[in-house]
Structure 1
Amino acid sequence: MFFAAEPYFGNALAVVYAPEGLSAEAVQCFAQWTILAETAFLCSLARPGADYRVRIFSTSEELPFDGHPTLGSAAAWLRADGERRAFSASALARYERLDASTLNTVAATLGVEPDIILGASWIANGPEWIGVGLASADDVLALRPNPADLGTLRIGLIGPHSEGRAEASEVRAFVGGDPVTGSFNAGLDRWLHDGGVVGGGYVAAHRTVVGRRGRVNVSFEGGKIWVGGQVTGCVSGEVRL
């Protein structure tokens, strides 16, 4: 499990040490069989200087990047169960405010009026996310959009918690079951930092609505944004590929 200090909370992830010569069709078949949002495969090196290569698959396709499989793979490679791992957020490939038409579409999809949205931006670092800021964590938690209405949109929300909580904000990502998403957090943190909303590290709560208590730790060091969380191993053994 990733982004959680307790077993069976946060995000589930399978990490598989892939044998040489395994075809893309074979790993995709296994990823589909797991029915997990992502499955990571540790493969032989692709370039000098790297310790390993990771390929990330959803149940339907290979992904260019995703946060918790990246960190979970590193933890598996290092056999670092129970430790916190973090990655440095990459530059954004798309980073711009939403136009009025897209903003209205997002508001309708979420079932809210456009004027309650405090800010909205494209934030893409592989997956193309739309980041939406609301006034409070309660506003974020109250939304129940119909998954069928989302179509191909990847919408992520953030709203601040009241003072006195360990978690500064509530974050939700409407894609594949409201998961904790490292890729969205990496883009979101860049958006918040550049907008002057945050200036230091913080903890974001995730998956509260589905009772999975995910936590993402964000820090700013050496001019870089670091996104991380706790790794908790639950199952180990062998699989047949």
Structure 2
Amino acid sequence: MRSRRFIQCDVFSAVPTRGNALAVVVDGDGLSEEQMRRFAAWTNLAETTFLLPPEDPSADYKVRIFTPTREMPFAGHPTLGSCTAWLDSGGVPRDVHVVRQECGVGIVEIDISRENELAFKAPPTKVQPLPADMQQAILGALDIPPEAVLRAARLDNGPVWQVLELNTAEAVLAVDSSRVRWPEFKAIGLLGAHPAGGECDYEVRMLAPSSGMREDPITGSLNSALACWMRAEGRLDRELRIAQGTSIGRCGRVSIRPLGEDVWIGGQTHVLIQGSVSL
């Protein structure tokens, strides 16, 4: 065992403790995969990350991302939280405005030029039709009337999402997340528009029966996939503000920013705990 720097932060909320918590072992080098898995299970958070020296010469650092049960090739709130922890621990990027993070999907760029908000460049997303039998199974399990569905898709940006866009944010918030169970269902994404003129443009939920929780508080990778889907269909022509976590008492806020050929996914991050852990 050795003492390693440790940070716990809150991601995607302007209100500390109302976002999505992330545990970060800043000095992750020398840990085995099994040690990382055990520690991530012990923290019992949605994700725990371990920062390592980069293998790709273009990267500033490497991150490995674990849920309590498995390793993830990419995830959004661990990307912003890990970057915040790396910078807070004295990390200096090669580019003054961009941090380049190495992870399972390759290099992810993180814009650090905005005050009070980091944003990652959305990685490529594979968009496919959601199989009809799966769509019907989800509708039946969640008691969603078919006429409430505007669009559906299977999105893959490392994680794979089964997504339904409903006709209103109210319909999204009315869904009972306790009705879906593993292993029949994995990650289900729901999206619905708020009335025009409100604080947020869309309400998003991520139902996660396979992760040990019924619902993920705020999901950057899902919002990234949704943004790429909307962009591919010509529906993303302005900056959007997303609410997530409302139904479980969180105040998640995600910004979606189209810029040229890219889409940037941003939010605020707060460091709440700093110290050391013996691993």
Gaps of 5+ in 1: none
- 2:259 aligned with 1:226, yes or no? no
Q: CA deviation at 1:91?
A: 1.2
From 83, 88, 97, the counterpart of 2:121: 88
What's the secondary structure of 1:173's corresponding residue? strand
- 2:143 aligned with 1:105, yes or no? no
Q: Who is 1:203 aligned against?
A: 241
TM-score normalised over the length of structure 1: 0.94
Report percent identity of matched pairs: 40
From 29, 41, 60, the counterpart of 1:32: 41
Give, as a single letter, the amino acid of the residue that structure 1 aligns with 2:31: L
Larger displacement relative to structure 2 (109-118 or 178-187): 109-118
d(CA) in 1 for partners of 2:128, 2:146 = 18
Q: CA deviation at 1:141?
A: 0.5
Q: CA deviation at 1:105?
A: 1.1
Q: Who is 1:131 aligned against?
A: 163
Q: Who is 1:9 aligned against?
A: 18
Gaps of 5+ in 2: 1-9, 89-111
Give, as a single letter, the amino acid of the residue that structure 1 aligns with 2:275: G
TM-score normalised over the length of structure 2: 0.81
Is contact 2:191–2:205 with CA below 8 Å preserved after alignment? yes
The 1:65–1:147 alpha-carbon spacing in structure 2 relative to 1, beyond 3 Å, is farther
- Residue deviations 1:69-118, cap 9 Å, x none? 011111111128x83111111112x3112232221112112211223211
The 1:155–1:9 alpha-carbon spacing in structure 2 relative to 1, beyond 3 Å, is same
The 1:117–1:19 alpha-carbon spacing in structure 2 relative to 1, beyond 3 Å, is closer
From 37, 41, 53, the counterpart of 2:50: 41
Q: CA deviation at 1:159?
A: 0.6
Q: CA deviation at 1:19?
A: 4.2
- 2:204 aligned with 1:163, yes or no? no
Is contact 1:156–1:174 with CA below 8 Å preserved after alignment? yes
What's the secondary structure of 1:118's corresponding residue? strand
More strand by share: 2
Q: Who is 1:120 aligned against?
A: 152
Q: CA deviation at 1:150?
A: 5.3
Q: CA deviation at 1:211?
A: 1.2
Quote the RMSD (CA, aligned, Å): 1.6
Is contact 2:236–2:258 with CA below 8 Å preserved after alignment? no
